[in-house]
């Protein structure tokens, strides 16, 4: 086999390993289900996860994800895998996508903090 064919085969293997289980494309915003370690594009996983739903499950193996999988860290942004994907398969839109992800994570943290603070205030009033 020629060296060129080996390189093409290796690139195909890497592309397949870094592809989303749902859309089949190279992952964008790599998001991992902690329980089973399956990883998807954030947008693909969002199609299966609804905050407040008891039916949230991993799209590949159906492991339960709970009512608020992003808030309880049952589903996490995979920084290391995402960095690998960005190095090997850079895209022009990645910088904007990362900024959007950071804004979304900040909003989720604020909402979680507000929920925990509102529960604390209610319990303090009852005392």
Residues 50, 71, 88: CA angle, nearest 5 degrees: 85
Residues 63-93 pLDDT 10s:
999 999 988 889 999 999 999 999 999 887 7
**What is the strand order of the sheet 30-33 is part of?**
39-41, 30-33, 75-77
Contact yes or no for 38/45 (Cβ under 8 A): no
Q: Which of 41, 36, 48, 49 lies closest to 21, judged by CA?
A: 41
| Amino acid 122: pLDDT | 47
Model pTM greater than 0.85?
no
Is 113 within the bounds of a domain? no
Residue 102 maps to a domain: no
Structural domain of residue 24, as residue ranges? 3-91
Number of domains in the chain: 1
- Whether residue 115 lies inside any domain: the answer is no
Q: Please report the pLDDT score of residue 23 as a whole number.
A: 95
> Does residue 21 belong to any structural domain of this protein?
yes
CATH at 8? 3.30.40.10
- Is 125 part of any domain? no
């Amino acid at each position: 086999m020629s060296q060129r064919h080996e390189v093409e085969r290796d690139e195909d293997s890497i592309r397949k390993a870094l592809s989303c289980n749902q859309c089949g494309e190279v992952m964008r915003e790599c998001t991992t289900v902690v329980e089973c370690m399956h990883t998807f594009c954030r947008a693909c996983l969002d199609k299966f996860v609804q905050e407040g739903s008891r039916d949230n499950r991993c799209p590949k193996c159906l492991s339960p994800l709970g009512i608020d999988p992003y808030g309880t860290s049952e589903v996490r942004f995979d920084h290391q895998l995402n960095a690998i994907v960005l190095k090997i398969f850079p895209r022009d839109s990645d910088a904007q996508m990362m900024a959007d992800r950071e804004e979304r994570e900040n909003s989720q943290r604020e909402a979680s903090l507000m929920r925990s603070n509102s529960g604390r205030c209610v319990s303090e009033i009852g005392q």
